[in-house]
A and B are shown apart, each in its own frame.
Chain A
Amino acid sequence: MASYIALNYWELASASVFVFIDAGLSVIFRLNLHRSLFVAAIRMRCNWRSSAWC
């Protein structure tokens, strides 16, 4: 049996701070990537939730 550290959603939420940092950088440098970044992050999460594997 594989041993691993189980992650909870709060721990995932703590890592999502990096998406907000990237979005902040996009706003500061006027890259116009913040919307795409949020959409991609949310889509990635939804893709997995709707996946048959989950």
Chain B
Amino acid sequence: MQLALVGLVLTTLFSLVSPLWTGIAAFGMVLFAGHEAAQRQERRLSGWWSYGLGTGCMMMSSVLVTVFALTTALRPNPWYDPRYAIPLLGMILGNCMTGISLGLDTLTTSLVNRRASVEAQLMLGAPREVAAAPVTREALRSALMPVINSMSVTGVVSLPGMMTGQILGGVPPAEAVKYQILVMFLIAGGTGLGAVTAVLGGVYRLTDGRHRLRLDRLTAANAI
């Protein structure tokens, strides 16, 4: 049912080739991904930060990387052609969502677990960036690890769906491989940029200008 509806929407979108409708579809995808990322957090930031931080970082990184790919590598005419823009954004956004979600979840969990250590450093006069550095590092590592793992095994262990689909659709395998490499690089870039901005934003929110740890800005939520 869901896929049949998507098929109908994409058919209409591809026939319109309108920047407005392509933008609206992209915006809808980002909002939904942001909602899903926020739902996966064991401990959420309070208020709009819970939804806004992940969604904002996801939008910034995935749109930046997609527009870069459309204007420099793929160069369809027009550059916002939804036949290229929407699937590319979807692939980047899906991986970006996983990275940001893992990064923020690790950040909040580690800050709660290492509260004493972080607060001890803050009391000794360390600025918040320094006190939270080990936690930031751990969060960023867990955000980037899935992308590096999937890059390492692509072609040997796994044959990505996009490439298989292209081959089944009649594209020569050598060309499908080039597309897959391009997409993997874009995913790595989008996830890296998104995770760094989201984790740094999370650190900024969970500390304050007087270099105090503000775990009261977290609300507990059930993990799914």
Contact = CB atoms under 8 A, between A and B. Distances in A.
A33 B73 contact: no
Q: Is the interface of A mostly helix, strand, loop or mixed?
A: helix
B143 to A, nearest CB: 10
A48 B179 CA distance: 12
A11 to B, nearest CB: 4
A21 B174 CA distance: 26
Nearest to A51: B155
Q: Is the interface of B mostly helix, strand, loop or mixed?
A: helix
Contact of B188 (A12, A18, A51): A18
A19 B181 CA distance: 11
A47 B186 contact: no
Contact of B185 (A1, A4, A15): A15
Interface stretch (B8-16, B28-36, B104-112, B146-154): B146-154
Given A14-B72, A22-B189, A37-B148, A48 B196 contact: no
A51 B177 contact: yes
A35 to B, nearest CB: 10
Nearest to A15: B185
Interface of A: 1-2, 4-7, 11-12, 14-19, 21-22, 25-26, 29-31, 33, 36-37, 39-41, 43-45, 47-48, 51, 53-54
23 contacts: A2-B169, A5-B76, A7-B178, A15-B69, A15-B182, A15-B186, A18-B65, A18-B188, A18-B190, A19-B188, A19-B189, A22-B189, A29-B136, A30-B137, A31-B137, A31-B144, A39-B152, A41-B184, A41-B188, A44-B155, A44-B181, A44-B184, A48-B181
